[in-house]
Amino acid sequence: MREPNKAILRSRHITPTLDDMILDLNGSKVFSKMDLRSGYHQLELNEESRNITTFTTHVGLRRYKRLSFGVSSAAELFQNTLSNALEGLDGVRNISDDIIVFGRNQDEHDKRLEKLFARLKEKNLTLNKAKCEFNKNKLEFYGHIFSADGISADPRKISAIRNTTIPKDDSKWEWTSEQQESFDKLKNELVADRVMSYFDPNKETMLIVDASPVGLAGLLTQNGKIIAYASRSLTDVETRYSQTEKEALAIVWAIEHFHLYLYGQSFTLVSDHQPLETIFNSPKAKTPARIERWRLRLQGYNFKVQYKPGKVNAA
């Protein structure tokens, strides 16, 4: 499909992420997951589109009648078609051919599941029974475990971290009991069984940020419970910023990173850099041009900066 893909005019459609779904899952206690059989092949191609899929075999030319892997626009067309097919169904979301159904109780879940089955029948979509799971209190979906308690990592996905080995003997590295202890502690922290809560727009929200000489970190919390966390490295240019600029950059980056949760909400932003409390809370504060531009970028958000010493900054 290399040559046809050059000529195909793609219609862009955004594939949802888990972050887009998590807001809807708040309060859910019963879950089901379904997988469509043969994915793309459930979509029939228009007659005029089939010729561009022609390929050569030992028995002559053949062409696809249904959407196939290798078509450059297949993923986005499939996502958009399935999303439209499921539109209007409460408690039903999909990412590609994986569909999740959720409810706050068994009765709500079952009613939503029945409506989904009716819609799938109406649209002539079939499921892969072997990959379907129903009426679960805990459900694995895209590397995460969803439950009434919140969200946690799938243990199978973090086994690579748990099984990470120490550097080989031929590496130029001093490895003593001190390094081994730190190495084991780091692995245990990374694979610790921590559960993140679902975001609730009605609860008080706090965003904790911090900046180091090499990176930025942000921690989104509600009532002391973790909703989400994120981090990134500084670029070469950013490492040369002043500490105040790095801390201000952490604010801008973290707010924009968690835009889905924070836009339209009132929240508190916690920083361990006290000058930022005045810079962002006082509209008359005189600031360097770079920080002033960042302040203008955040005018659409409703927040107050609160200073807390570094020793109590969880980020």
Tens of pLDDT, residues 117-149: 999 999 999 999 999 999 999 999 888 889 988
Number of domains in the chain: 3
Same domain, 183 and 210: no
Under DSSP, is residue 144 helix (H, G, I), strand (E, B) or coil? strand
In a domain, 143, yes or no: no
Q: What percent of the chain has pLDDT over 70?
A: 95
Q: What percent of the chain has pLDDT over 90?
A: 45
Cβ pair 171, 177 in contact under 8 A: no
Query: Does residue 193 surpass a pLDDT of 70?
Result: no
In a domain, 6, yes or no: yes
Nearest to 247 by CA among 186, 206, 290: 290
Q: Region 158-168: what's the mean pLDDT?
A: 74
In a domain, 239, yes or no: yes
Query: Does residue 204 surpass a pLDDT of 80?
Result: yes
Query: What confidence category does residue 6 fall into, taking pLDDT thresholds of 50, 70 and 90?
Result: confident
Query: What confidence category does residue 234 fall into, taking pLDDT thresholds of 50, 70 and 90?
Result: very high
In a domain, 21, yes or no: yes
CATH of the domain at 255: 3.30.420.10
Q: Region 103-108: what's the mean pLDDT?
A: 94
Residue 23, pLDDT score: 82
- Segment (H or E) for 215: strand 215-222
Same domain, 182 and 287: no
Rounded Cα distance between 21 and 92, Å, is: 10
Please tell me the total number of residues recorded for the chain in this structure: 315
Same domain, 48 and 169: no
Cβ pair 53, 71 in contact under 8 A: yes
Q: Which range marks the domain in which residue 131 is found?
A: 1-137
Cβ pair 67, 97 in contact under 8 A: no
Over residues 30-89, the pLDDT tens digits come to 999 999 988 888 888 888 888 888 888 888 888 888 887 777 777 888 888 888 899 999
Same domain, 90 and 14: yes
Same domain, 71 and 7: yes
How many Å separate Cα 73 from the centre of its chain?
22
Q: Region 269-273: what's the mean pLDDT?
A: 94
Same domain, 71 and 175: no
In a domain, 30, yes or no: yes
Can you spell out the DSSP letters for 145-160? Answer: EEETTEEEE-GGGGHH
Q: Region 140-168: what's the mean pLDDT?
A: 81
CATH of the domain at 2: 3.30.70.270
In a domain, 196, yes or no: no
